[in-house]
Amino acid sequence: MGNEADNQAGDSAGTVTSETIELLRRHTSVRQYQDRPVSEAQLAAIVGAAQMASTSSNVQAYSVIAVRDAALKQQLSALSGNQAYIEQCPVFLVWCADLYRLRGAAAAHGDGGETYEDTTEQLLVATIDAALAAQNAAVAAESLGLGIVYIGGVRNNSAELSQLLGLPELVYPVFGMCLGYPAGVNGLRPRLPLKAVLHHERYDAAAQPEQVALYDDAYTAYMHERTGGKQAVAWSATMAQRLAQPVRLHMQDFLRARGFMRR
């Protein structure tokens, strides 16, 4: 049986909520941390919760490296865009897609024939596994009063960062995660309307322009308020700028060099 509080219907208008849903709806990225340690017991509980995430065919194709050492965090920050909160947070987690362990585990049972750990499909499996586990960890951390922010910047200098962390072939850093007690929390950033992402029976392409326009209005108002009127750029304009910039074009060559995506 589930927790009774987690099975409560909402108001008569049909809104449904629970303690878990409300926790998820309060999520914000945390970029300022208290000078307060995260215990080994907390870290074990968080990663233990991450391990219970869904995983394709039970391959569990991910690993996470917890970094507390100040000098190492400084190096990781430098390789990830000089993001100060990597150095400030008490624990920095590097979530990795990991097919190295899978290949080793299977090797003892093979007949010496060809294996397929280097396919694009296996790369997708490992990357998705890492993301699902990390999101479990994020929710677990927030349930303990901690905060997180994901760091895609670990892919800025993937080869150098992999060498620094001793990552073997068939392991790559998917993203980092700062972990600690929040010293400051941003307001809730609005998301796309539900109708933009929830489709019924088939994809509704015709609805997208209207939903994006509605979100542009909400996002512009949010940014105007958050920046005290200094910035009020529509979401679609921000995305246009993003797509116009080449980002991490080295990743294809890097992944192939690490043994991924060769087929």
Tell me the three state secondary structure of residue 193.
coil
Domain co-membership, 145 together with 55: yes
Would you say residue 1 lies in a domain? no
Domain co-membership, 34 together with 88: yes
- The pLDDT score that the predictor gives to residue 217 is 97
Domain co-membership, 88 together with 172: yes
Antiparallel, parallel or unpaired: β 62-67 and 32-33: unpaired
CA distance 154 to 130: 14
Tell me the three state secondary structure of residue 66.
strand
Q: Tell me which residue range forms the domain holding 107.
A: 18-188
- The pLDDT score that the predictor gives to residue 167 is 98
Would you say residue 3 lies in a domain? no
Q: Please tell me the pTM assigned to this model.
A: 0.92
Domain co-membership, 46 together with 124: yes
Domain co-membership, 99 together with 162: yes
Domain co-membership, 174 together with 196: no
Q: Specify whether the CB–CB gap between 149 and 178 falls below 8 A.
A: yes
CA distance 59 to 129: 9
Total domain count, the chain: 2
- The pLDDT score that the predictor gives to residue 80 is 98
Domain co-membership, 84 together with 97: yes
CA distance 229 to 232: 7
Final residue belonging to a domain, choices 145, 166, 188:
188
- The pLDDT score that the predictor gives to residue 187 is 86
Domain co-membership, 116 together with 210: no
- The pLDDT score that the predictor gives to residue 186 is 80
Would you say residue 262 lies in a domain? no
Domain co-membership, 27 together with 154: yes
Q: What is the CATH number of the domain that holds 121?
A: 3.40.109.10
One digit per residue, the tens of pLDDT, for the chain of length 263 reads: 344 444 443 444 579 999 999 999 999 999 999 999 999 999 999 999 999 999 999 999 999 999 999 999 999 999 999 999 999 999 999 999 999 999 999 998 988 889 999 999 999 999 999 999 999 999 999 999 999 999 999 999 999 999 999 999 999 999 999 999 999 878 899 999 999 999 999 999 999 999 999 999 999 999 999 888 998 899 999 999 999 999 999 999 999 999 999 99
Would you say residue 263 lies in a domain? no
Domain co-membership, 78 together with 172: yes
Domain co-membership, 124 together with 237: no
CA distance 35 to 170: 36
CA distance 262 to 15: 47
Would you say residue 230 lies in a domain? yes
Would you say residue 51 lies in a domain? yes
Would you say residue 23 lies in a domain? yes
- The pLDDT score that the predictor gives to residue 81 is 97
Would you say residue 8 lies in a domain? no
What one-character DSSP code corresponds to residue 180? E
Domain co-membership, 103 together with 174: yes
Final residue belonging to a domain, choices 188, 218, 242:
188
CA distance 102 to 100: 5
